Amino acid sequence: MARKNQTLGEFIIENQSEFKYSSGELSRLINAIRLAAKVVNHQVNKAGLVDILGGVGDTNVQGEDQQKLDVIANEAFINTLKNREIVCGIGSEENDDFITVEGHNDDHNNKYVILMDPLDGSSNIDVNVSVGTIFSIYRRITDPGTPVTLEDFLQPGRNQVAAGYIIYGTSTMLVYTTGHGVNGFTLNPAIGTFYLSHPNMKFPEEGNIYSVNEGNYTHFPQGVKNYIKYCQEESENRPYTSRYIGSLVSDIHRNMIKGGIYMYPKSSLNAKGKLRLLYECNPMAFITEQAGGKASDGYTSILDLQPTELHERVPFFCGSKKMVEKAEAFMAESL
């Protein structure tokens, strides 16, 4: 039974049996993520005091400008995860290809692969807006003892055994699920410990917030335009409030607490959408469904999509169940 204010370590131990194939792996893996999160949190909080703001002059595989903190966060998570005897492969939004990780004895017997966006919303760093980390964990499907292959990473979201995010904001929170609900832990920076602060997090079934970059309105499909107009109409419960931060973690986190829908549809600017299926959409969809919400590409559940490449992009609609279903209805009408 989750007890508010218990530590993350205590929570993991008490709920170890809920982790599929459990034999201690969850503790080591979540502990590695927890440690890396504290390292990144420390760096984020120094932004402006030391030279870690701004770009590095390079672009990542998606052609996006890399920020200095992108690189710092990526290295922090990769190095921390490599030092644990559990992950056999790492996929990162910042790397062209996946990373093969050998075990302690130079074997390939570790069981899990992890995919991550080490610093979501990094374009907001320079203006002191909340950023985050997103992670997704799968059990490998190739035989232990052999190096991981692309097949281990290109699994549908339904196969996730755990997923979560860390939000670096007014407080630092780690929110995650192992398929048995969603729980949030807040970092006490004075002693470096995460405490359970948001047990059994749930999306309200209905909400009054819609989150979308309306600056791209003219480029959206007609179904999305129609839904936005619906959100803005005067009625008993509308117009809805428009709230868009531009950091996926922050927008989803707010909507899970207050009720709302997040949308990043395809457009004439991004024909396949902009968000990455493996690093952003799948983990957020898993968390959302475990919190009673819904996530889709406008027509199909995100978790049912079969990935075809590491950096695949898809449209993304995520949030309170009834709001997502309403958006899907507008999409279907415009076909």
| Binding-site residue set | 93, 117, 119-123, 213, 244, 274, 280
Task: Encode pLDDT of 45-97 as tens digits.
Answer: 776 544 545 454 455 555 555 667 888 899 999 999 988 778 999 999 999 99
Amino acid 57: pLDDT:
47
Which of 6-15, 176-185, 248-257, 325-334 comes out lowest in average pLDDT?
6-15
Inside any domain, residue 2? no
Q: What is the CATH number of the domain that holds 265?
A: 3.40.190.80
Residues at the annotated binding site for Mg(2+)?
93, 117, 119-120, 280
* pLDDT per position as a tens digit, 125-176: 777 788 999 999 999 999 988 999 999 999 999 999 999 999 998 899 999 9
Mean of pLDDT values over 267-274: 94
- Determine the pLDDT at residue 145: 87
Are 104 and 118 a contacting pair, CB within 8 Å? no
Q: Do 192 and 253 belong together in one domain?
A: no
**What's the number of domains the chain is made of?**
2
Smallest CA-to-CA distance from 257 within 204, 178, 195, 185 is with 204
Which is more confidently placed, 304 or 30? Answer: 304
109 and 18 within one domain: yes
pLDDT of residue 280 exceeding 80, the answer is yes
* Domain hosting residue 131, numbered range: 8-198
Query: pLDDT for 174-190, tens place per residue?
Result: 999 999 999 999 999 99
- Which residues on neighbouring strands pair with residue 319, listed in sequence order? 261, 294
Binding residues for substrate: 120-123, 213, 244, 274
CA–CA separation, 69 vs 89, rounded Å? Answer: 23
Beta carbons within 10 angstroms of residue 247's beta carbon: 23
